Chains A and B, each alone.
Chain A
Amino acid sequence: MIELLSKFTLSFQTFKTHRLRSFLTMLGIIIGVTTVIAILSLIEGLNRTVAEQVKSIGSDLIFLQKFSWVSTGHRDLDKLAGRPDLLPDDAEAITKLSSVEIAIPQTSRQLQILKYKDNEVSNSSLAGSDENYAWVNNYIVESGRDFSRDDVLHRRAVGIIGSYIATNLFPDETAVGKDLHLNGHRIKIIGVFKEKGTFLGNSLDDFILIPYTVFEKFFPRPRGTLWSRVYGGYSIGIKAKDGMKIEETIDQVRELMRRRHGLGFDKEDDFELNTQQILMDLYQSITNVGFIAIVAIAAISLVVGGIGIMNIMLVSVAERTREIGIRKAVGASNNNILAQFLIESIVLALVGGLIGIVFGMLLAWLISAVSPLKASVSFWMILLGFGFSASVGIFFGIYPARRAASLNPIEALRYE
């Protein structure tokens, strides 16, 4: 071990005498590893952000809808529009399933403009659901109160607003107790949700929630368009029971819905069950392609770097032919010489790799400092950088080292 260490320090001496040359040789590896570390850490950062966001949906939530969140190829809207509407009754039936904690009907639409005195916001969403919405979707009522069962049953024109609307429409006063006019209908604000942030770039706080019964009365669904027949209407948010496998819940819900829709065993489902998992799967399948592209780029730049190393090692072997002769004369075996030159090329590649890792981390840090992308450097990337450069050192160093080892000592000694 000490021997090996002293060999490593010996090869550092070689680099000291050829600083510029060694640096230029390492440049290929440096650039390669820098790129890989920077891009990998940015992808990793993106992965984490997306994973966090998708997880914020809740791993125990299932959405029963007419359409799937993920579709491959063309989406047949005619077919989806022909599917039976999902209704609050369905939610009630699903809630009774043994593996289901609760199921709620949810619906929504876009609002053009919301005004209060001189303030206005545009393009907010209007959501309709019941008193369990906040609980199921992880919202917390920060001020005021949540819906009661009575609000829903008696179609009280009350609403809870997201924090975005609260801060923009009521910057200087309390929102609770105020009235809002939604397309001519008066809604009394009874509560404000705590801020939740964004999901895939969209604010989760830019909406008003009203009882679905009120939603149905004030905003009856235009039945005409294909679009509204697919995407309007209700979806059912289902929260699985704690400790229950989500697949089991999905199976129970599917069975129930097939029965309710009177589907024979040979008919396919006329509804979709969406979970966060299918979003994760979709995202992963996209990033996997990116990942493969990175690996390809890395491979190319490392091969280029490796060729540089091989080239300079061949020069070094030629320059030091006499040294090899002397070493062999005083007892160095072929393996000793092989090890010496191999260690040199490995050290060369590793130092390049190390510099690349540092540069890559700096670059990633720089990018996340000036852009919304968040970089995240993991330990495995550093290992990967080291592993890659060490393998390049070995792979491209072995040929020059072999050549050095196989030199005839007499001819090597004669070499001037």
Chain B
Amino acid sequence: MKKKTDIICRAVDVKKTYWRGKVAVEALRGVSFDIKRNAYISIMGPSGSGKSTLVHIFSCLDTPTSGEYYLENALVSKYSDEELARVRNIFFGFIFQSFSLLPRLSALDNVALPLIYRNISKHERIAKAKEIIENVGLADRMLHRPNELSGGECQRVAIARALVNDPKVIFADEPTGNLDSKTGAEIMEIFDHLVDEGNTVVMVTHDVNVAAHARRTVKLKDGLIAND
């Protein structure tokens, strides 16, 4: 029973092949990988090594060509698009390099966005989003739109959005890539703090300094794990 709940994500010999025109690109060539509760993992590797693909499969944005992917012991690699959307909504939070906020919505509405797809009343959505956005220190900026916020503030909004649905795993794709080093360091402090609070964080990064924050670093090369 303990083991069942300890491992959140488990990939078994996952392969992924893309077709770029008529050329097959083997992005992943057999990766087995577990993510345990409260893990703090950084995934590194040169571009084309398959790290993004791996994260896409972990985060259910994509499905493997072969191999199995389990989420809390449920085989999700065969799920339909609708089921995968639901899984993403309930299990994961996403943070992207370019923040990926909706420009027409206020910071608060951006944070509340994942809750829309959970049939939660507007009142509850706003209450929950307010609470989270206050936690990331943007209480006085929550009605501003993304173009009125600095890069660091945008990324905080993105983090708040990733946290609003109490995710089991938070995926961050180059979270400091678009930020100056000082702001980047502030963001990393937030991640550290999140892990201390018991959250599970998986980052994709090029930056060794960023990777150094993680407790576990996985290096990918040519679609295989080179170093764990």
Contact = CB atoms under 8 A, between A and B. Distances in A.
A328 B59 CA distance: 12
Contact of B88 (A6, A322, A331): A331
A3 B113 CA distance: 13
Interface in B32-59: 56, 59
Given A3-B119, A326-B100, A410-B61, A331 B82 contact: no
A331 B117 contact: yes
Interface string A328-346: 1111111110000000000
B11 to A, nearest CB: 17
Interface stretch (B70-78, B89-97, B187-195, B213-221): B89-97
Contacts, number: 63
Contacts of B100: 322, 325-326, 329, 413
Contacts of B122: 2, 6
Most buried by B among A6, A330, A335: A330
A327 interface: yes
B88 A323 contact: no
Interface string B100-121: 1110100000000110111101
Contact of A334 (B85, B104, B113, B114): B85
Given A331-B117, A333-B85, A334-B82, A410 B104 contact: no
Contact of B56 (A327, A331, A410): A410
A409 interface: yes
A96 to B, nearest CB: 80
A327 B113 contact: yes
Contacts of B85: 328, 331-334, 336
Q: Chain B, interface size: which category?
A: 20 to 34
A331 B118 contact: yes
A336 B102 contact: no
B144 interface: no
B94 A329 contact: yes
Nearest to B165: A331
Contacts of A123: none
Interface in B189-215: none
Contacts of A329: 59, 61, 88, 94, 100
A13 interface: yes
A14 interface: yes
Interface string B117-136: 11101100000000000000
B82 A333 contact: yes
B119 A336 contact: no
B62 interface: yes
A413 B113 contact: no
Contacts of A119: none
A17 interface: yes
A326 B89 contact: no
Given A329-B94, A331-B86, A331-B89, A336 B117 contact: yes
A333 B102 contact: no
Contacts of A409: 61
A63 B167 CA distance: 86
B156 interface: no
Contacts of A326: 100-102, 113
Contacts of A13: 104
B161 interface: yes
A326 B89 CA distance: 12
B6 interface: no
Contacts of A328: 61, 85, 88
B225 to A, nearest CB: 21
A340 to B, nearest CB: 10
B148 interface: no
Interface in B152-206: 161, 165
B66 to A, nearest CB: 18
Given A3-B119, A17-B104, A410-B56, A335 B114 contact: no
B113 A330 contact: yes
Interface of B: 56, 59, 61-62, 81-82, 85-86, 88-90, 94, 96, 100-102, 104, 113-114, 116-119, 121-122, 161, 165
Given A331-B85, A331-B114, 18 more contacts: A6-B122, A13-B104, A322-B100, A325-B100, A326-B100, A326-B113, A327-B113, A329-B94, A329-B100, A330-B113, A330-B117, A331-B118, A331-B165, A333-B81, A336-B117, A409-B61, A413-B61, A413-B100
Top 9 closest A-B pairs, CB basis? Answer: A331-B89, A333-B85, A330-B114, A331-B117, A326-B100, A333-B82, A331-B88, A329-B94, A409-B61
Interface of A: 2-3, 6, 13-14, 17, 322-323, 325-336, 409-410, 413
26 contacts: A3-B119, A13-B104, A325-B100, A326-B100, A326-B102, A327-B102, A328-B61, A328-B85, A328-B88, A329-B61, A330-B113, A330-B117, A330-B161, A331-B88, A331-B89, A331-B90, A331-B114, A331-B165, A333-B81, A334-B82, A336-B117, A409-B61, A410-B56, A410-B61, A413-B61, A413-B96
